[in-house]
Amino acid sequence: MLTLAELAKRLDAELVGDADQRVDGLGTIQSATGSQLTFLANPRYRSYLENTRAAAVLIPESQREFCPVAALVVKDPYLSFARATAFFETAPLATPGIHPSAVVDPSASIAKSASVGPNAVIDADVTVGEGAVVMANAVVGAGSVIGDQCRIWPNVTIYHGVTLGPRTIIHANCVIGGDGFGFAFNGAGWTKVHQVGGVSIGADVEIGAGTTVDRGAIEDTVIGDGVILDNQIQVAHNVVIGNHTAVAGKAGIAGSAKIGSYCLIGGAAGVAGHIEVCDKVQILAMSLVSSSITEPGTYGSALPVDTQARYRKNVARFRNLDELARRVRKLERLSD
């Protein structure tokens, strides 16, 4: 529980209201109670602000006069609210030490301040840094490095030769460092291309539940600092993702694709292999990127939902586009 004075100091906010008012949690602007903090980032929802019962609201200067309760005036309310959520974290704190049921190879190096949970497996020559948490049933393969303050949630599998930078979070059921999809056709079947690279993940990365990041075929798959990956994403072998890029759920990035920094990739989008996407590109949801993008901007390729009847007509017309184009070119030649 924090007072508004304490929150204002931590968030570098201007306080308008009772400095001693206590806040014990967070709420939406519609439902927050008299002891909760909320925010208003979009002026379209000002009617909710005018009727809120929250203890205090994070607002921009432009909304000060409309706030009926205590206000914390900030430049970016949503960013300030994101920072404030850390003060009310509900995840249980880990206790330093190694659980008796964990299996830890004698050659592993586990910091005294780290926590290794029940039934976790730490293989040979693994390093687990200061304050890192490896939770129940997680597996960390040989030679991997878990950086300081990393948090590995239950049932994560980290293969051999994986490096995680400090403060990286890997959510439940992720697989980091599985073999890439590399096979050569031998005339009758498939010969496996053994994946001898690793995975290198930077600092302050967060990877959502069920996401898979394959190891490199020869060199490492690389994920830069500050990258955020949603749930159920596939990152194939030798992909490179630049710093602070965000990828939404169910997207797929094929082998050896290179994604720049500060990119936004929408849900269920696909990026073809061996192409490059430059910095500061936004890919709309369900788009297919089949060739390199060299200019920053917003790109999309999916058809939006439509009525069934009109969608079927448009699909039928789409199938005739090539024939129509040929006829147009023929008519243009005749008219010359």
Cα separation, 129 vs 110, whole angstroms: 7
Contact 170, 156 (CB under 8 A): yes
- Residue 218 sits at the vertex; the CA angle it makes with 217 and 224, to the nearest 5 degrees, is 85
Torsions phi, psi for 283 (to 5 deg): -105, 120
Cα separation, 27 vs 187, whole angstroms: 62
Residue with tokens 């592993």: 108
Which parts of the chain fold into alpha helices (H)?
4-11, 46-50, 77-85, 308-319, 321-335
Give catalytic status of residue 194 as yes or no.
no
Considering 160, 237, 244, 274, which one is annotated as catalytic? 237
Beta bridge partners of 213: 176, 235
Largest CA distance in the chain: 86
Pairing of strands 157-158, 175-178: parallel
Non-local (6+) Cβ contacts of 295 within 8 A are 278
Q: Which residues of 113-148 are buried (b: 16+ CB within 10 A; e: fewer)?
A: ebbbbebbbbbeebbbbebbbbbbbbbbbbbbbbbb
DSSP 149: T
- Give the pair of three-digit tokens for residue 252: 């797929």
Cα separation, 311 vs 305, whole angstroms: 8
**Burial classification of residue 94, based on how many CB atoms lie within 10 Å of its CB (0-12 exposed, 13-18 middle, 19 or more buried):** middle
Which parts of 162-246 fold into alpha helices (H)?
none
Which parts of 106-167 fold into alpha helices (H)?
none
Active site residues per annotation: 237
